[in-house]
């Protein structure tokens, strides 16, 4: 089938509005008389509130309400935007008498403007009993300080946690006998790798405004990736019936997973409920850094064994993850560490993957693009690169020898079958583009500068198997145009556009005839939200199903109007006609008009849901070329090549930019980004001045290419693109640094200091 819209570089539907600076984001829509809400936060990492005096603060002119732990519902909940029943423990109150990290909310202050709120915030007197904080995640398990001793701590099902030991979750997964397999190997490498907490640092910080509508329902307009999870959690945490909450998602200024956790929603919601007035909260950048969520900091220990010919026979991995003060996404991110890294090498291997996730008195971690797979990729791929050295094999060849083959079942990937994979082609193409033959392992530039190259491969998933669900409704309106209603959340990635491309392809009409509507929980079809690389694959399939149904309905209704047998009716996008007498036809426009009103109306809509039993992995091979100054350790990435297999590329431009952006974030993680705390638990880098994300001059011109496989279970053969692209930079850059200097950096970020100190050893 020749595709007209899918696989084309179609500009984003909202591109003109976004580049034109239109008021389409949450803060642009706030009503004028909105209360300003701010949160007074704990200056201590672990403390019990002895007393709060707010009487003087309440008298500040303009102050509408000040809420403390005594004023909020005592209902445990999780902020994680996950399908119900959430795997994350219910370990939060909106405000609690115990504060568990610097930034934990202590009081919610609402007033007519920011000045009166700021004044009142300064006048609230809080006395704390300080507790001994747990700041080092390697010391957290069985630490004398227990972070969550509360009696009403709740989880829906066992995730191997034990809060009295500061353990959020633990578990293991094994296939075969890894100990014996390791013993039988010719060569074994072993290493411990550290990845840091990183900030998602989307350009639009967290923000929400709320109001009561004419039915006294709570309306929440928020910059979120998960409107339906938001609705459910807000209703639960506030003790409201779900029917009393409506969530609307306007345009979003980036999320990268940060907005898969509720962050700002509950504060104005509570104020609106208490005051009856509209309320808004807009997080400062500092607040976004200090009091939201980040990537999970991890320590990953890997042991890989192989035979002399390079056949990998054993993988043993243990991961320790830092959940921070609350357990959002704790048990799920840790799973991906092994489940998205080991399958690439488990074809002929026995393996074991075990994990522990611990609480500490630092900011809670959450979802960040890659979601554990990124951390696992750094450890696993670094180990594979070390194995190649020990085997005296080319690292690319070592991978090509071990990769899973299409048609096989992957025991380390939930026993799912591999239905599409172009990773070998990605590796070969990447080698060509980076100049592997000429440059591997390194080239001397002058007496103190060396260029090294390195590589890594990775996989992600396409949605969460048997969990992520997308529903879509497509309507035929009068005049023959369509409304595509989705619950998936475009957060800048362009899913509104690529889903419309799929609809246009099936309905055989120009893109202009499709209006995309989303997301408003009152009228959008249910969707679990945009995360876990699910939208293209899961919601995309729902689009294909719904549009195919509508197309059949149009043909059937056309046949009725034409008085012909339905089997003779053909719909070509513009008209329904009789296949045997093409001159007998009715235009879509006319048909649509007759369907909406008049005698025998039959307004046509089709709704379809989709949930996939499997999560076909997209793949990527990443290649880095770095230049290291041997005198200073300064390292610059001078070239980065990423070759991606995301199945059929639905939109070449948008997929390319996603890949380039993911690689850029990955380079930031590899070289620059590192959330740090002082000895008292205060985050020290909570501005763009101290937490540096890559700017234009920090990056090479990232080069991306595609090797398209065809995924039989995906819409038009597509898999996902969103997350797989962030994983390779850390291990590939570490490898390139090793090839340039002989120094193996096992802890991120890879700094000049670590390289120089490594050279001295």
187 binds other proteins (CB under 8 A): no
How far is residue 72 from each of residues 97, 243, 267, 292, measured CA to CA in Å? 11, 21, 10, 20
Element (H, E) at 495: helix 495-507
Lookup result for tokens 């700017």: 695
Q: Give least dist CB 27 to other proteins, A.
A: 8
Measured CA to CA, the distance from residue 538 to residue 470 in angstroms comes to 6
11 binds other proteins (CB under 8 A): yes
Residue closer to other proteins, measured from CB, 21 or 600: 21
Measured CA to CA, the distance from residue 324 to residue 322 in angstroms comes to 5
E strand map for 581-684: 585-587, 605-611, 619-629, 635-645
Site map (CB under 8 A) of other proteins, residues 24-43, x = contact: -x--x---------------
699 binds other proteins (CB under 8 A): yes
Tokens of 389: 């050295």
Q: Give CA angle at 233 (230, 237), nearest 5°.
A: 135
Q: Which of 203, 215, 563, 600 binds other proteins (CB under 8 A)?
A: 203
Element (H, E) at 312: strand 312-324
DSSP string, 10-21: PPPTTHHHHHTT
Q: Give least dist CB 492 to other proteins, A.
A: 2
Site stretch for other proteins (CB under 8 A), options 6-14, 131-139, 506-514, 517-525: 6-14
> 346 with 411: CB under 8 angstroms?
yes
- Return phi, psi of residue 606, to 5°: -135, 135
Which letter does DSSP use for residue 559 in this model?
H
Q: Which of 661, 681, 717, 731 binds other proteins (CB under 8 A)?
A: 661
Site stretch for other proteins (CB under 8 A), options 61-69, 342-350, 442-450, 655-663: 655-663
Q: Give least dist CB 257 to other proteins, A.
A: 12
Residue closer to other proteins, measured from CB, 26 or 741: 26
Site stretch for other proteins (CB under 8 A), options 281-289, 448-456, 550-558, 709-717: 281-289
- Residues ≥6 apart with Cβ < 8 Å to 334: 169, 296, 298, 319, 321, 355, 357, 372
Q: Give least dist CB 398 to other proteins, A.
A: 29
Element (H, E) at 350: strand 350-359
Site stretch for other proteins (CB under 8 A), options 9-17, 238-246, 456-464, 508-516: 9-17
Measured CA to CA, the distance from residue 185 to residue 311 in angstroms comes to 9
Q: Give least dist CB 675 to other proteins, A.
A: 16
Measured CA to CA, the distance from residue 219 to residue 712 in angstroms comes to 41
DSSP string, 280-294: EEE--HHHHHHSS-B
> 141 with 165: CB under 8 angstroms?
yes
Lookup result for tokens 């398990």: 141
Site map (CB under 8 A) of other proteins, residues 102-131, x = contact: -------------x----------------
Site stretch for other proteins (CB under 8 A), options 252-260, 320-328, 383-391, 477-485: 252-260
Give the three-state DSSP class for 87: coil
Measured CA to CA, the distance from residue 677 to residue 690 in angstroms comes to 12
Residue closer to other proteins, measured from CB, 61 or 241: 61
Q: Which of 201, 384, 459, 745 binds other proteins (CB under 8 A)?
A: 201
The β-bridge relationship of strands 312-324 and 350-359 is parallel
- Residues ≥6 apart with Cβ < 8 Å to 91: 76, 78, 148, 150, 153, 154, 163, 326, 327
563 binds other proteins (CB under 8 A): no
Q: Which of 56, 130, 406, 695 binds other proteins (CB under 8 A)?
A: 695
Site stretch for other proteins (CB under 8 A), options 295-303, 444-452, 478-486, 688-696: 688-696
Q: Give least dist CB 654 to other proteins, A.
A: 5
Residue closer to other proteins, measured from CB, 353 or 691: 691
Element (H, E) at 304: strand 297-306
Q: Which of 91, 204, 350, 625 binds other proteins (CB under 8 A)?
A: 204
- Residues ≥6 apart with Cβ < 8 Å to 587: 480, 574, 575
Q: Which of 102, 108, 202, 595 binds other proteins (CB under 8 A)?
A: 202
Site stretch for other proteins (CB under 8 A), options 73-81, 250-258, 581-589, 614-622: 250-258
Q: Which of 702, 737, 745, 748 binds other proteins (CB under 8 A)?
A: 702
Q: Give least dist CB 39 to other proteins, A.
A: 16
Q: Which of 209, 211, 256, 368 binds other proteins (CB under 8 A)?
A: 256
512 binds other proteins (CB under 8 A): no
Tell me the β-bridge partners of 299: 194, 320
Q: Give least dist CB 665 to other proteins, A.
A: 7
Alpha-helical regions (H) of 174-259? 178-183, 227-238
Measured CA to CA, the distance from residue 80 to residue 330 in angstroms comes to 9
663 binds other proteins (CB under 8 A): yes
Q: Which of 246, 475, 656, 746 binds other proteins (CB under 8 A)?
A: 656
Site stretch for other proteins (CB under 8 A), options 270-278, 413-421, 530-538, 658-666: 658-666
Q: Which of 151, 689, 760, 761 binds other proteins (CB under 8 A)?
A: 689
Total binding residues toward other proteins, as defined by CB under 8 A: 59
Site stretch for other proteins (CB under 8 A), options 231-239, 280-288, 405-413, 601-609: 280-288
- Residues ≥6 apart with Cβ < 8 Å to 214: none
The β-bridge relationship of strands 312-324 and 279-282 is unpaired
Residue closer to other proteins, measured from CB, 133 or 662: 662
Q: Give least dist CB 638 to other proteins, A.
A: 14
Which of positions 473-502 make contact with other proteins (CB under 8 A)? 491-494
Q: Look at phi and psi of residue 466 and say left if phi exceeds 0, alpha if psi is from -120 to 50, else beta.
A: left
Residue closer to other proteins, measured from CB, 586 or 637: 637
Q: Which of 341, 651, 730, 741 binds other proteins (CB under 8 A)?
A: 651
Q: Give CA angle at 175 (174, 176), nearest 5°.
A: 120
665 binds other proteins (CB under 8 A): yes
* Interface with other proteins (CB under 8 A): 9, 11-12, 14-23, 25, 28, 115, 200-205, 251-254, 256, 284-286, 491-494, 651, 653-654, 656-658, 660-665, 687-689, 693-697, 699, 701-704
């Amino acid at each position: 089938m020749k595709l007209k819209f899918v696989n084309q570089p179609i500009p984003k539907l909202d591109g003109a509005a976004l580049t034109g600076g239109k008021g389409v984001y949450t803060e642009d829509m706030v009503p004028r008389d909105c209360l300003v809400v701010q949160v007074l936060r704990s200056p201590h990492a672990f403390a019990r509130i002895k007393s709060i005096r707010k009487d003087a603060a309440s008298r500040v002119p303009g102050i509408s309400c000040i809420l403390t732990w005594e004023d909020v519902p005592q209902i445990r909940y999780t902020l994680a935007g996950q399908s119900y029943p959430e795997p994350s423990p219910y370990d939060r109150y909106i405000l609690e008498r115990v504060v568990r990290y610097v930034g934990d909310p202590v009081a919610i202050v609402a007033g007519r403007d920011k000045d009166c709120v700021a004044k009142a915030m300064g006048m609230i007197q809080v006395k704390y009993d300080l507790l001994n904080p747990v700041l080092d995640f390697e010391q957290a398990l069985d630490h004398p300080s227990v972070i969550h001793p509360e009696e009403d701590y709740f989880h829906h099902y066992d995730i191997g946690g034990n809060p009295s030991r500061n353990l959020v979750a633990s578990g293991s997964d094994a296939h075969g006998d890894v100990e014996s397999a390791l013993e039988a190997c010719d060569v074994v490498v072993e290493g411990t790798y550290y990845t840091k907490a990183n900030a998602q640092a989307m350009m639009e910080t967290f923000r929400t405004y709320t109001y009561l509508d004419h039915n006294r329902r709570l309306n929440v307009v928020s910059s979120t990736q998960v409107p339906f999870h938001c609705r459910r959690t807000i209703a639960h945490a506030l003790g409201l019936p779900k029917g009393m909450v409506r969530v609307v998602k306007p345009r979003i200024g980036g999320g990268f997973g940060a907005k898969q956790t509720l962050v700002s929603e509950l504060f104005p919601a509570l104020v609106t409920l208490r005051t009856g007035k509209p309320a808004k909260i807009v997080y400062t950048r500092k607040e976004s850094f200090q009091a939201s969520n980040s990537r999970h900091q991890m320590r990953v220990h890997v042991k890989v064994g192989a035979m002399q010919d390079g056949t990998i026979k054993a993988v043993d991995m243990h991961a320790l993850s830092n959940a921070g003060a609350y357990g959002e996404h704790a048990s799920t991110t840790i799973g991906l560490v092994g489940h998205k890294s080991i399958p690439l090498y488990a074809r002929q291997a026995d393996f074991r993957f075990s994990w522990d996730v611990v609480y500490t008195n630092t900011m809670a971690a959450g979802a960040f693009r890659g979601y554990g797979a990124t951390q696992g990729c750094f450890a696993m791929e670094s180990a594979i690169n070390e194995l190649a050295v020990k085997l005296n094999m080319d690292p690319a060849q070592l991978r090509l020898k071990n990769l899973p083959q299409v048609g096989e079942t992957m025991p380390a990937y939930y026993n799912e079958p591999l239905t599409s994979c172009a990773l070998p082609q990605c590796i070969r193409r990447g080698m060509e583009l980076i100049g592997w033959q000429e440059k591997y392992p390194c080239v001397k530039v002058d007496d103190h500068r060396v260029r090294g190259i390195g590589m890594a491969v990775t996989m992600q998933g396409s949605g969460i198997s048997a969990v992520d669900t997308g529903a879509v409704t497509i309507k035929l309106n009068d005049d023959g145009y369509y409304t595509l209603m989705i619950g998936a959340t475009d957060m800048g990635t362009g899913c509104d556009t690529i889903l419309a491309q799929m609809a246009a392809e099936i309905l055989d009409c120009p893109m202009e005839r499709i209006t995309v509507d989303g997301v408003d929980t009152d009228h959008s079809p249910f969707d679990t939200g945009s995360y876990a690389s699910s939208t293209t694959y899961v919601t995309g399939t729902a689009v294909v199903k719904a549009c195919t149904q509508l197309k059949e309905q149009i043909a059937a209704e056309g046949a009725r109007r034409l008085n012909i047998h339905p089997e003779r009716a053909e719909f070509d996008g513009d008209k329904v006609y009789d296949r045997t007498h093409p001159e007998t036809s009715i235009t879509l426009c006319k048909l649509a008009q007759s369907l909406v009103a008049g005698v025998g109306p039959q307004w046509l809509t089709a709704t379809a849901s989709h949930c996939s039993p499997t999560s076909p992995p997209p793949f990527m091979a990443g290649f880095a070329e770095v230049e290291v100054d041997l005198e200073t350790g300064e390292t610059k990435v001078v070239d980065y090549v990423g070759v991606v297999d995301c199945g059929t590329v639905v939109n070449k431009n948008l997929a390319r930019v996603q890949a380039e952006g993911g690689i850029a974030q990955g380079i930031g993680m590899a070289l620059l980004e590192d959330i740090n705390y002082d000895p008292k638990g205060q985050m020290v880098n909570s501005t763009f001045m101290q937490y540096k994300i890559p700017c234009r001059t920090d990056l090479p011109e990232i080069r991306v290419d595609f090797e398209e496989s065809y995924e039989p279970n995906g819409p038009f053969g597509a898999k996902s693109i969103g997350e797989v692209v962030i994983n390779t930079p850390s291990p590939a850059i570490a490898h390139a640094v090793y090839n340039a200097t002989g120094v193996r950096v096992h802890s991120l970020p890879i700094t000049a200091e670590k390289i120089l100190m490594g050279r001295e050893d």
